[in-house]
Structure 1
Amino acid sequence: MSQIIEQPRFSCALAAQQTVHAIPGALPIAHAGPGCISKTFAYLGEEAGNQGEGFGGGGQVACTNTSEKEVVFGGEDKLRALIKNSFKVLNADLFVVLAGCTSGIVGDDVVTVAKEFRDQGFPIVGVETSGFKGNNYYGHELVVNAIINQFLPAEKVEVEKGLVNVFSVVPNQDPLWRGDLEEIKRILSLLGLKVNILFGKGSKGIEEWKSIPKAEYNLVISPWVGLSIAENLKKKYGTPYLHYPELPVGAKSTSAFLKTVGETLKLDKSLVEKVIKEEEERFYSYFLSVVDFTSDFRTNLPNEHYIVGDASYTLGITNFLVNELGFTTKGIYIDDDPPTQQIQEKLISYGEKIQEGTGSLIHIESDGGLIQKHIKENLKGSKRAVIFGSTWEGLIANENKNLLIYISMPITDDVIITRSYVGYNGGLRLLEEIYSGMFKKVKITRSTQTL
């Protein structure tokens, strides 16, 4: 993508600092110009539902703050001094040196500088994350692969049966990442698996990362993000992987996901069926409790949706809305800039598997201005739509008093802690959001027949 876009939905490769922040016990060290770190944190921290700084200090990151002097004479010596001093005053299990645009342009080698210290026994890796190299989805994969290649052992280790590594959502870029990963770990653990979730509160930090080579399987729960990581681990350790192309939302999708995992990993079939039966019974008991409400308010219920977000969530939520709630899809806007034509074609194919004709409604578009224009043209004054997206989509939703549900960046006017729409629990939460949201638009009573 080379043109200027309006309302971008992602940041640059250097914003993978948030990937580092999401690893318990890890700290980033930036070799970048002044302002880069604080700006990326402002977007991926504060504008991701005000999620706070976490362990690593958010925007308060050790940084060389490169200037004209480093542009002319190079900044590797300044980086070495910063790393030495960081070891003296910062306490972390792993340090990740990230390159900004300035160091990338002048040719400073952060990977080699990091290796100098790693050879002395320090836990540190270096990653070329110059912002111009790609977006933060790309930067996320760079960071994870760098830790695998530089920090983990080169030799194969004994496989631990039942241990799986999960590669799925990108921390903070998915503003619901904390709750999403917790639910993914919960449902996989019900199958008797030991789950390396790697990021967030559910992770044991660096010790968990060190056990990556022991995994029996790697699970990629995403249309495309994480595939390069799984391929890297397959090449390095021979670990097979399962690629599941959408986040499972609701009972049908989550049960299908667990069945696929069970069959692929050859798990006890009776256990898998037992888990699914128990989770579905719970899910549908709550689901059916909403029937009285939907019957009373049937003339007010939303019945169509537009969704703006990355490929994982847009496909997962659409599947739930269409096949469990009976919604009509009006527009799917995938904004994570899938890197190849082949991936984009697969996304359209996944849409067709949800429901015939859905693939034609998929728009792969990173320009928020064009997305909003298209939604406005198609809404045509409808007040029965649910719009999934960001704070920017709130402008459209407010025009006709349609419901807005946040799933994508940026989110400036909400606070997100453990919210998630993934899995069985996430489907129930989404059900609440949709139907309780009716009362947020206008005053509705049981005697109200129209909006």
Structure 2
Amino acid sequence: MSNIELKCDDKGTGKAVGKSNSIEQIRYGCALGAMHTAFAIPRVIPIAHCGPGCVDKQTANIAFYNGFQGGGYGGGSVVPSSNIYEKEVVFGGEDRLRELIEATFKIMDADLFVVMTGCIPDTVGDDVGSVVGEFQAKGLPIVYAETGGFKGNNFTGHELVTEAIIDQYVGDYNGPLEKGVVNVWSLLPFHNTFWRGDLVEIKRLLEGVGLKVNILFGHESLGVSEWKNIKKAQFNLVLSPWLGLKTAEHLKEKYGQPYLHIPTIPIGAKETSSFLRKVVDFAGIDKDKAEKFIENEEKKYYEYLEDFSDFYAEYWWGLPAKFSVIGDSAYNLALTKFLVNQLGLIPARQIITENPPEKYREAIKNEYRHIAEDVSTDVEFEEDSYVIHEKIRNTDFGHKPPIIFGTTWERDLAKELKGFIVEVGFPASYEVVLSKSYIGYKGALTLIEKIYTTIVSASA
């Protein structure tokens, strides 16, 4: 999207004379992009009721040019789409959708189908709920979510999809809650480049302290059977600055489940051990078992860090001192805390790009005011890469080259500033990602390797 609006000046040259409200180099998808939420659940396939090209654009950007993650069992080129045209705009697309759903059930094998709408059917008023209801009445596993692009971005769409599955598929429940079972609501699947590996690590950590974990998305999820058990969990864990809070509030009202909100996704020993102790306290499970796990993980972590200290002591004079993080709030906050508290780097500028709802922004800002006991920094919310890059150009990074934790959009900017770039978010088209994780004890070591390999190789 262009940042510049072309208008004819008084000489009729067509020269750019003003800035429009459009966004340059976008960093998220539309609400329909939450089809990735659906096919991030094993054996779940989305059905898209939208115009031609919508599915391809979302999957190409969010799943392909973002770590080249692939579409898995139910994504990418697998997604059925109605590809509606002018006829459906004039006469409605309900018949077309009904036809598509019938064909999908005949051809495709899945445990659950999620019908998702684009802008056209939401604008013309297709009664998608009524069409899907016909199949639900037959006992078929299908739900729907209205995800027209004007509803918001794929973060908004994500919670529309999760609530649709909970309300239309998981259903009601009045039974007891099972102690020691937790539902995890954290990173946005596919949009977060490293979500697969990160969720595996989150599950490993929580199981290590004695919990049974419904991780819900990715290869460690049990699929729809795990979603069916959401209603029996003792509590919900929201591990992000804001994403998942709406879902957790909904589950609290629906099933009476309490939830624990921890805004910072843990990277490194300090944050990870603190995170685990908070969860253990909230769950009321065996602290002795948890402490043994934490002690063992910390021991291994600091042994590796001790090995790294030789390099750090030898090359500290040539390493960056200041950094900037540009990306969604989950990784932005997590990275900032780790880089300050574990590596001793100085935050120069932090910019959050996913446009969080206004009601959460003050709480997010407050987290940055308490990055460390003696470190406070500001955070800005900005979606337009043109504006973001101007802000970074005008940032004081001191006399050493900066290190920027950002996206592919920042590669040329880093070269311009004679700095270093580590791609940590959407879009990341210079990373091929399978199971890499940057969180927890193990992920922090991987992140340190990535940071300093980038610096050393660029300096050669």
Provide TM-score, normalisation by structure 1: 0.95
Note if 1:142 corresponds to 2:160. Answer: yes
Letter in 1 for 2:360: I
Note if 1:198 corresponds to 2:222. Answer: no
| Pairs within 5 Å for 1:294-333 | 294-333=312-351
Aligned to 1:353: 370
Q: Please state whether the residue corresponding to 1:297 is helix, strand or coil.
A: helix
8 Å Cα contact 2:325-2:404 kept in structure 1: yes
Note if 1:397 corresponds to 2:421. Answer: no
Q: Please state whether the residue corresponding to 2:370 is helix, strand or coil.
A: helix
CA positional deviation for 1:94: 0.1
Per-residue CA shift, 1:184-229, capped at 9, x if unaligned? Answer: 0010000111111011101011111111101011000011100111
Counterpart of 1:108 (choices 118, 122, 126) is: 126
Letter in 1 for 2:84: T
8 Å Cα contact 1:330-1:361 kept in structure 2: no
Counterpart of 1:121 (choices 120, 139, 161) is: 139
Note if 1:186 corresponds to 2:204. Answer: yes
Per-residue CA shift, 1:135-194, capped at 9, x if unaligned? Answer: 000000000000001001212233222111000000111111001101100100001111
Q: Please state whether the residue corresponding to 2:296 is helix, strand or coil.
A: helix
Q: Please state whether the residue corresponding to 1:289 is helix, strand or coil.
A: helix
Note if 1:250 corresponds to 2:268. Answer: yes
Letter in 1 for 2:164: A
Note if 1:72 corresponds to 2:105. Answer: no
Aligned to 2:78: 60
Counterpart of 1:210 (choices 220, 225, 228) is: 228
Counterpart of 2:67 (choices 41, 49, 71) is: 49
8 Å Cα contact 2:159-2:247 kept in structure 1: yes
Note if 1:86 corresponds to 2:100. Answer: no
Counterpart of 1:157 (choices 148, 172, 175) is: 175
Q: Please state whether the residue corresponding to 1:361 is helix, strand or coil.
A: coil
8 Å Cα contact 2:401-2:417 kept in structure 1: no
In the aligned structure 1, how far is the partner of 2:387 from the partner of 2:329? 18
In the aligned structure 2, how far is the partner of 1:72 from the partner of 1:148? 33
In the aligned structure 1, how far is the partner of 2:86 from the partner of 2:69? 34
Per-residue CA shift, 1:41-87, capped at 9, x if unaligned? Answer: 01111111111121114133111111111111111111111101110
Q: Please state whether the residue corresponding to 1:420 is helix, strand or coil.
A: coil
In the aligned structure 2, how far is the partner of 1:262 from the partner of 1:70? 53
8 Å Cα contact 2:323-2:397 kept in structure 1: no
Q: Which moved more, 1:405-414 or 1:191-200?
A: 405-414
8 Å Cα contact 1:165-1:197 kept in structure 2: yes
Letter in 2 for 1:62: P
Aligned to 1:344: 361
CA positional deviation for 1:131: 0.7
Letter in 2 for 1:425: K
Aligned to 1:363: 380
In the aligned structure 2, how far is the partner of 1:360 from the partner of 1:380? 14
Letter in 1 for 2:445: L
Aligned to 1:434: 451
In the aligned structure 2, how far is the partner of 1:358 from the partner of 1:331? 13
Aligned to 2:437: 420
CA positional deviation for 1:125: 0.2
Per-residue CA shift, 1:379-437, capped at 9, x if unaligned? Answer: 56854321101001111112244221111111122211111211111111111112222
Structure 1 runs, 4 residues or longer, greater than 6 Å off? none
8 Å Cα contact 1:113-1:126 kept in structure 2: no
CA positional deviation for 1:360: 4.4
CA positional deviation for 1:371: 0.9
Letter in 2 for 1:194: K
Letter in 2 for 1:428: L
In the aligned structure 1, how far is the partner of 2:365 from the partner of 2:233? 32
Q: Which moved more, 1:225-234 or 1:411-420?
A: 411-420
In the aligned structure 2, how far is the partner of 1:189 from the partner of 1:176? 20
8 Å Cα contact 1:332-1:361 kept in structure 2: yes
Counterpart of 2:283 (choices 249, 262, 265) is: 265
Q: Please state whether the residue corresponding to 2:347 is helix, strand or coil.
A: strand
8 Å Cα contact 2:173-2:255 kept in structure 1: yes
In the aligned structure 2, how far is the partner of 1:121 from the partner of 1:112? 15
Aligned to 1:446: none
Letter in 2 for 1:442: S
8 Å Cα contact 2:37-2:161 kept in structure 1: yes
Per-residue CA shift, 1:213-257, capped at 9, x if unaligned? Answer: 010110000111001110111111101100011111111000110
In the aligned structure 1, how far is the partner of 2:183 from the partner of 2:398? 46
Q: Which moved more, 1:272-281 or 1:218-227?
A: 272-281
Q: Which moved more, 1:150-159 or 1:236-245?
A: 150-159
Note if 1:293 corresponds to 2:311. Answer: yes
**Count of aligned residue pairs for this structure pair:** 441
In the aligned structure 2, how far is the partner of 1:154 from the partner of 1:380? 54
Residues 358 and 373 (structure 1), Cα distance of their counterparts in 2 relative to 1, 3 Å cut: farther
Q: RMSD in angstroms over aligned alpha carbons?
A: 1.5
Note if 1:374 corresponds to 2:391. Answer: yes
CA positional deviation for 1:280: 0.7
CA positional deviation for 1:378: 1.3
Residues 268 and 381 (structure 1), Cα distance of their counterparts in 2 relative to 1, 3 Å cut: closer
Letter in 2 for 1:48: N
In the aligned structure 1, how far is the partner of 2:396 from the partner of 2:197? 31
Q: Which moved more, 1:148-157 or 1:39-48?
A: 148-157
8 Å Cα contact 1:38-1:60 kept in structure 2: no
Aligned to 2:26: 8
**What runs of 5+ residues in structure 2 fail to find an aligned partner?**
1-19
